[in-house]
Structure 1
Amino acid sequence: MEFSLLKEKSVVFKGADPHDVSGYVNRHVGSHSIRLSRTSHPSADLSHRKFGDLDLCRISYGGTVRVTSEALETIYHLQILLKGHCLWRGARGQEHHFVPGELLLINPDDPVDLTYSQDCEKFIVKMPESLLEAACAENHWQRPGEGIRFTANRHGLQEIGGLLNLLGLVCEEAESGVAPPRLQEHYGRIIANKLLCLQNNVRREQPGGASAIFERIAHFIEENLKQDITLEQLAGLANISPRSLYALFEKHARTTPRHYVRQKKLERINASLRDPSVPVRNITEVALDYGFLHLGRFSESYRNAFGELPSDTLKRRAC
């Protein structure tokens, strides 16, 4: 699997001694130790960028290597397997061979025991505990006294809609070197919120009942309009069933979740086309940015919503 996650300008090591790469990882990404085959002489590659509270790392050791750590202490690791395979051994004797497209989510107090294949390559997002705690506070969720824990280690990319596109954008911003701190913080919050959609021990009971829950979902949608927002994601965010999610939207928005998301995307596009301060090169680019892949249907939906074609809105802005 090929993804645009860190390019040449982020390369720190190329064809290097794995122990040198491991030492760098210990300083910047997480404490660990490696064990190599005595008969092999692998060459390792590593790319790295710091972006706000996040560390972004793309790594391959070039040979079979076992990586172990007692615990990551105050950080979480999201690891995406890009190439090869990786054997994970759990604390209770579980084993799983990760394949490209699968995610490994490591809690701060989880022991780490991973064996990389010779062709294994990973993308790692290191996230401090404080970032997830801030996301809980922002959503008015109750942080467990024992700390936030994800109750499953293995996930598929489809469980976090739009994650790869988001990480690709974050990598581009990190490599540009011009993203202001506030923007870096914003992206960090989005990633934290996406991860909190996965099964965890956070209590989502909120004051104000269903109305407050809907407001939180609506806020999440507004913050992630360029992402592929799924019904499962929204239901997980509110810790309710898909059926209850439909009832919630029927009560507070008189529509379905899918239609609500589409309408909000259209409203954001309309605002962008009307605002002279927003750079717009063409209608196609804007539509694709918000996930409208069928341009004919997009134009029809836009006209039904606003009484004119998107091109007409853009022309009036130019006048």
Structure 2
Amino acid sequence: MGGSSFRTRDVDEAREEIDARYYANFMDVIDAQKRPFAARFDTVGLGPLMIGDLSCGTDVRMRFGELGAFHINAPMSGTMELRQGAGGRRLVATAQDAVLLDPAGDTFLDRWSGDCRTLSVKVGAAALRDRLEQLLGRAPRGRLALGPGLDITRGPGLSWVTFARQVAYGALAGDGLATHELVARPLQEALLNGLLLAADHPWRDELARPGEPARPAPVKRAMDAVRARPEHPFTSTELAALARVSVRRLQESFREYVGMSPMAYVREVRLERVHAELRTGDPDGLSVTEVAWRWGFTHPGRFAAQYRARFGETPSRTLRG
């Protein structure tokens, strides 16, 4: 986990820091006469999360391409006016309501007010979906999309924002438990869990219901093995050996608790990894065939058909954005 306390009065330096810690961007000061530009970025990385306490000192605007990650802006003061995607509606982040941005769609920060100090959290899309899958005990059908707003004055939204700030401040101080390797991973999982419980999405009610049956240990062992190495040429026999049960028992358990066969689950995980890489890849420097091969798809025609059935578009269309 790496922390950074960054200060500058140079807009280009600030842009480069946001690029390094979050996303490629363009930044402009809206009214340089109003207040001097004075960026203050305190950031800390925690696995797939980047948590920052950010301010610019004067009104600025920014634009990004597709973020490729979920992003939460939760101001402690001031406002941020944002749009996302073609014809996207105006979103305003305030000290009462955070804004949650999607991995897809060009993103525009039309005004980041000079008095706005914000908690800014980048969350890896694949990590959040994997965490959802682990909590559900099965692969969620459909795309994970979070509601654009989050009440941060009470309830789960306030709790999550408070927790994220505490983790970041402890890590930046350098003397808290957040810096210890035995604590960092549980904190990471707690932040992902908390976001899934706080934000609006189709599976939130299911996650919030207590007493749901846990998936059997053999199923968990097989799923964990697949998520760790989805590109590996697994067979049903190998997965059964890893799960420590017979092939028939594993197949029956997967159909009951995951809703598909073990090998169908392998294919689903691989397709998700390909999709994530294509969405964030450079169309001029990345080949669909290369990505598919890297994640274990050796038959181009079959892969293309499976991809289109899963995501409703061709792999090349995803890569072109």
TM-score class, shorter-chain normalisation, is: 0.5 to 0.7
Q: CA RMSD in A?
A: 2.9
**Residue 39 (structure 2) aligns with:** 44
Q: Does 1:140 align with 2:149?
A: no
2:50–2:122 CA contact under 8 A, matched in 1: yes
Tell me by how many angstroms 1:103 deviates. 1.0
2:151–2:158 CA contact under 8 A, matched in 1: no
Q: 1:70 to 1:202 in 2, by over 3 A?
A: farther
**Residue 183 (structure 2) aligns with:** 183
Q: 1:104 to 1:112 in 2, by over 3 A?
A: same
Distance in 1 between the 2:37 and 2:72 partners? 25
Tell me by how many angstroms 1:23 deviates. 0.7
Deviates more, 1:19-28 or 1:137-146: 137-146
Tell me by how many angstroms 1:85 deviates. 1.4
Tell me by how many angstroms 1:138 deviates. 2.1
- Percent identity between matched residues is 16
Tell me by how many angstroms 1:105 deviates. 1.0
Q: Give aligned pairs, total.
A: 202
2:11–2:28 CA contact under 8 A, matched in 1: no
Tell me by how many angstroms 1:164 deviates. 3.4
Tell me by how many angstroms 1:84 deviates. 1.2
1:103–1:155 CA contact under 8 A, matched in 2: yes
Q: 1:18 to 1:141 in 2, by over 3 A?
A: farther
> CA deviation digits over 1:13-64, x for unaligned, max 9?
1x42122111111111122221223644522211112233321211111221
Q: Secondary structure at the match of 1:112?
A: strand
Distance in 2 between the 1:100 and 1:11 partners? 23
| Displacement over 3 Å in runs of 4+ | 38-41, 90-93, 141-147, 201-206
2:51–2:164 CA contact under 8 A, matched in 1: no
1:142–1:205 CA contact under 8 A, matched in 2: no
Distance in 1 between the 2:142 and 2:19 partners? 26
| Selected match of 1:169 from 166, 177, 191 | 166
What is the correspondence of 1:1-319 to structure 2 with a 5 Å cutoff?
Answer: 10-13=4-7, 15-37=8-30, 39-40=32-33, 41-73=36-68, 75-91=69-85, 92-114=87-109, 115-144=111-140, 147-150=143-146, 152-157=147-152, 158=154, 159-175=156-172, 176=174, 179-197=179-197, 198-202=199-203, 213=212
Q: Secondary structure at the match of 1:196?
A: helix
TM-score by length of 1: 0.55
Name stretches of at least 5 consecutive residues in structure 1 with no aligned partner: 1-8, 217-319
> CA deviation digits over 1:147-168, x for unaligned, max 9?
4211x21111124252233123
1:86–1:116 CA contact under 8 A, matched in 2: yes
Distance in 2 between the 1:64 and 1:97 partners? 15
Q: 1:43 to 1:144 in 2, by over 3 A?
A: same
Distance in 1 between the 2:159 and 2:31 partners? 41
TM-score by length of 2: 0.55
Distance in 2 between the 1:71 and 1:83 partners? 26
